[in-house]
Amino acid sequence: MSLRRQDYDYLIKLLLIGDSGVGKSCLLLRFSEDSFTSSFITTIGIDFKIKKILIDNKWIKLQIWDTAGQERFRTITSAYYRGAMGILLVYDVTDESSFNNIRNWMRNIEQHASDNVNKVLVGNKCDMDESKRRVPYSQGQALADEFGIQFFETSAKSNIKVDEVFQSIAKDVMLRLRDSQTDSPSAGPAGSGNVHLNSTTNSAKQSKGCC
């Protein structure tokens, strides 16, 4: 990737995946803007957010993409998964079907994302009263163990473990990228010479003048 102004060491693309209403957008807004609103009915308008974090003395620029509501009828575009390095699989601890659907989302990921993408399982809304909880912590942990991935229970509302989730997945991705810097798998495409429309339009305009 051609990085003109290198103000970070790694650019990492993360995705949020999971059923409608589990709090994906809220997690994203809590992490990127430290804000929370309970009035989201369904995702409108959140495309992606950028946040820079420091891990092991490396600046990591996170580009975190939201589903834009296309998860509602399981119609996430295959394009959404392109180039994803890490995926947060989110369910709602008070909604059992959102937990059961994690396996479906996992299949979706296997079909469309690259094989080595890092994943983390997130049970959101852990601030809710225990009487409303439908998925015990141990069940989430067991599923995560089965997939061989990390597990967190979070609350975007009460700001519990939100930073930790993003830090964790970002670090996993960073370590993987560092270990496999040369072989860049699946990755003719991630290689050099890719044209990004926004960056090159300007340079094209500039070059017009000089020749």
Q: Which of 148, 196, 202, 210 binds another protein (CB under 8 A)?
A: 196
Beta-carbon-side half-sphere exposure of residue 40 (alpha carbons within 13 Å):
22
The window from 99-107, 138-146, 156-164, 202-210 that contacts another protein (CB under 8 A) reads: 202-210
Q: Which of 44, 138, 202, 210 binds another protein (CB under 8 A)?
A: 44
Letter for the amino acid at 2?
A: S
Q: Which residues of 12-27 are buried (b: 16+ CB within 10 A; e: fewer)?
A: bbbbbbbbbbbbbbbb
**Shortest Å, Cβ 55 to another protein:** 24
**Shortest Å, Cβ 25 to another protein:** 12
Q: Are 186 and 115 in contact (CB under 8 A)?
A: yes
**Shortest Å, Cβ 9 to another protein:** 21
Comparing CA positions, the residue from 141, 32, 149, 133 lying closest to residue 88 is 149
32 binds another protein (CB under 8 A): no
Distance CA 189, CA 182 (A): 14
Q: Which of 7, 45, 179, 183 binds another protein (CB under 8 A)?
A: 45
**Shortest Å, Cβ 50 to another protein:** 10
Query: Which 123-182 positions form the footprint of another protein (CB under 8 A)?
Result: none
Token pair of 166, please? Answer: 């993003």
Handedness of CA 104, 109, 112, 116 (dihedral sign): negative
Nearer to another protein by Cβ, of 37 and 104: the residue is 104
Task: Tell me which residues touch another protein (CB under 8 A).
Answer: 44-48, 68-70, 72-75, 77-80, 82-83, 111-112, 186, 188-189, 191, 193-198, 200-201, 204, 207-208, 211
